[in-house]
Structure 1
Amino acid sequence: MKEWWSFLFPPPTTCWFCNAPVQANLFAPPVKRLCPVCQEAVQPIGEPVCCVCGRNDFEETSTGVCFDCVRIHEEERVVNRSPVAYTEQVKEWMLLFKYRGKESLAVPMGQWMADVVRAHYARENISLITFVPLHGERLLQRGFNQAEKLADEVGRRLGLPVRSLLVRSRATAYQSKRSRKERLLALQGSVILAEGDWKKQVENQVILIVDDVYTTGTTIRECAKPLRQAGAKKVCSVTFAR
């Protein structure tokens, strides 16, 4: 009886990120579950975008590839899509999510990301989801892997299995303040396939890598390398922000 009552008369809806009241039902898409202030601050990414990294603030080339991605060899590129741009407001949400204990933000972020996967990767027949790993030291400091939380939500929304396929072979310093060249050097060879019989599960699969933010794409590409070496048919990625 209580379940029927909740369905017919749902409780007041609040903004996913600031808890302000909003006029939206519980089944509305994430962008509709934001208060006017948060809606004003967020910048959904719409077409046209770079056909590789998914950014929309770029000088379009004849190939549809941004100048950053043009510099990457075609065999190393990983197609990425993200629902929102990495604005100051989104950066604040990430801080709440990763460092201030608001792990519940994985739910709206993951739902938003799952919507993007449905829209952009429908023809790819993704069969397996994995996520960017944290080194053991960083995992102990933070208590959880934000990419894993997002992957679990994306997998739940899409009905796809999530597997911990990758590990960090060494600790790396925070990348946010490093230059592109420094990131490339620091992350090179830092991600390997996890121990276990994963190779058989990876072989001939279309794998989706999940992470929170896409900046230069170096981390995603390093994660794709061992998956491709293990025989993955195709590797693509989704991040919450770009």
Structure 2
Amino acid sequence: MIKDLLKAFSWCVFTRRCDICGEVVPLGQARCDDCRKAPKIKGEICTTCGAMKKDCRCKKSHHKPEYEEFVAPFYYDGNIKKAVHRLKFSEYSELSKGMAVEIAKMIKTEFKHINFDAITYVPLTEKRQKARGYNQARLIAEELSKILGVPLEDTFYKAYENPPQRNQSARQRRANVFAAFDINDNIDPTNKTYLVVDDVKTTGATLSECAAVLDCYGATATYATAFAMRKPNTKDKTQ
């Protein structure tokens, strides 16, 4: 606890850091040049996969996700990729705030017609969360909940420890997360509309499985979001 407080104090007082990637920036500047220039997903967007229409490959896919729609502000590349890795693996938990701000902009634009009952997130196993010290998806969801004024719900638990999604094909990813999640005993999804949050979407298998579980428990609809997504037809090894 004391260590976390000292880290937060140092982060805010002694240096000014980019709110996306954590690089040191000059005083008075909130974001580094690389993150400010990072291309955003904008214009005509396919809300099935989240890509810009010119990049979309949904017509070639045989697998329709279980969630209604998906959006993300960035492709998983360049400085955005570095930012995700720092949040996930290097204890840069503070970056969740800047990431949530960017996601919220997309939600307010693309999902402005949706009234969400709850924001939730992709869970980690107890073992993995203990090793990392936090769940990066929960941190982003918590900040997003504050910005959007939608309640945060600890909906899921992970039923078993499956292998990491990275280094697996799209088919293997779908099989890997099958029945991996369930609903906590104190949660009733009946007639609720959910927004499920993750840090990165690669194939969408994880978010789709979460949506399928909510559907089984009577949720009205599930929408999904992440800070970044893999650009269609790019080979990337991430969770």
Question: Structure 2 length normalisation: TM-score?
Answer: 0.82
Match status 1:167 vs 2:153: no
CA drift of 1:19 comes to 2.2
Q: Which has the higher contact order (CA 8 A, sep 6+)?
A: 2
Q: Percent of pairs identical after alignment?
A: 26
Q: Which of the numbers 7, 18, 41 marks the counterpart of 2:23?
A: 18
Equivalence for 1:72: 63
The answer as to whether partners of 1:22 and 1:35 remain within 8 angstroms in 2 is no
Match status 1:92 vs 2:82: yes
Alignment of 1:1-242 (within 5 A): 15-16=18-19, 17-21=22-26, 33-40=30-37, 42-56=38-52, 58=54, 66-67=58-59, 70-73=61-64, 76-196=66-186, 198-199=187-188, 202-242=189-229
Q: Where in structure 1 do 4 or more consecutive aligned residues deviate above 3 Å? A: 57-60
SS at match of 1:103: coil
Determine the C-alpha separation between the residues in 2 that align with 1:59 and 1:115. 21
AA at the equivalent of 2:18: C
CA drift of 1:59 comes to 5.1
CA drift of 1:77 comes to 4.3
CA drift of 1:238 comes to 1.1
Larger fraction in helix:
1
CA drift of 1:23 comes to 5.6
SS at match of 1:133: coil
Aligned residue pair count: 214
The answer as to whether partners of 2:67 and 2:221 remain within 8 angstroms in 1 is no
Determine the C-alpha separation between the residues in 2 that align with 1:85 and 1:235. 22
Determine the C-alpha separation between the residues in 1 that align with 2:164 and 2:53. 25
Output one character per residue of 1:40-97: Cα deviation in whole Å (capped at 9) or x when no partner: 3x2211122223121127555xxxx7235x42247x3441100111003222111211
Determine the C-alpha separation between the residues in 1 that align with 2:120 and 2:219. 12
SS at match of 1:164: coil
AA at the equivalent of 1:147: A
SS at match of 2:142: helix
The answer as to whether partners of 1:135 and 1:168 remain within 8 angstroms in 2 is yes
Range with greater deviation from structure 2 (143-152 or 14-23):
14-23
Output one character per residue of 1:151-187: Cα deviation in whole Å (capped at 9) or x when no partner: 0000000111101111111111111211011111111
The structure with more radius of gyration: 1
Name the Cα RMSD after superposition: 2.1
Determine the C-alpha separation between the residues in 2 that align with 1:223 and 1:21. 41
Give 5+ residue unaligned stretches, structure 1: 1-11, 25-32
The answer as to whether partners of 2:76 and 2:200 remain within 8 angstroms in 1 is yes
Equivalence for 2:4: none
CA drift of 1:22 comes to 6.6
Range with greater deviation from structure 2 (15-24 or 183-192):
15-24
Determine the C-alpha separation between the residues in 1 that align with 2:93 and 2:224. 21
Determine the C-alpha separation between the residues in 1 that align with 2:75 and 2:84. 12
Determine the C-alpha separation between the residues in 1 that align with 2:53 and 2:112. 24
The answer as to whether partners of 1:22 and 1:34 remain within 8 angstroms in 2 is no
Question: Structure 1 length normalisation: TM-score?
Answer: 0.81
